[in-house]
Amino acid sequence: MSNSTVTLKIDGVEITVPEGTMILKAATDNGIRIPTLCALEGLSNSGGCRLCLVEIAGSPKLFAACITPVSSGMVVTTNSERLKEYRKMTVQLLLSERTHVCSVCVANDHCELQSLANELGVDHVMFERKWTDYKIDSTHDFLVIDRNRCILCTRCIRVCDEIEGAHTLDLKMRGKDTQVIMDLDNNWGVSCSCTSCRKCAKVCPVGAIYVEEEPLARTKHKEIAEFLLARRRR
């Protein structure tokens, strides 16, 4: 991060931040909320969920705020009608790709995808839904992964690699068939690298990874970001 600063406007508010700061962090640090599912402070940015798209004056394109650095004189809009429609469509696409039924999900009322759907007024899905039937892996002593609920945000992979340093988790396949795997696509219970630290369950925004027989309200405590930042500074 450079010692120099840049001044820009976000939603009409003039702010000054260090050069190299991403738009999402610049907005968040100044009390401007931009929806996201893949971004989490303390982890690297992936730009995967596309919910943090913003408009930048002078360009017809939309930009992912989590991976777009600020520049001097930049004018950013985070909450236009166009962006609201894009975000509603993105949430609908996420809901259509896997088997998301809130009423029978362990993350009901503790799910970031569900909260965003409610916030954006997504009360139906206009795309054909794919009802996946991936086998639930509960072979670990207490950690469970249900790939039918995974939104491929890769938070679990990044926290395992960047914070815990184990890199047990990774991805296989491509596109809508992509799945999170353990080691060389083994059952979780026979993983030789997993430290059973629970960090993957703490950062999962939905009900894809959870601790068996533990309420998600306890697993997903509010101090996740502070916890990750503290670990990363060590």
Q: How do residues 58-98 score in pLDDT, each as one tens digit?
A: 999 999 999 999 999 999 999 999 999 999 999 999 999 99
Q: What is the pLDDT of residue 224?
A: 61
Please, which residues bridge with residue 213 across strands? none
Q: What is the pLDDT of residue 124?
A: 93
Cα–Cα distance for residue pair 49/168, rounded to 1 Å: 22
What structural domains does the chain harbor? 5-79 (3.10.20.740), 86-233 (3.30.70.20)
Residues of the chain with pLDDT under 70: 1-2, 221-234
Q: How many residues in the chain?
A: 234
Q: What is the pLDDT of residue 218?
A: 86
Alpha carbon 70 to its chain centroid, in Å, reads 21
Asked if residue 179 lies in contact with residue 170, where contact means CB atoms within 8 angstroms, the answer is: no
CA atoms 190, 195, 199, 202: torsion sign: positive
Q: What is the pLDDT of residue 232?
A: 59
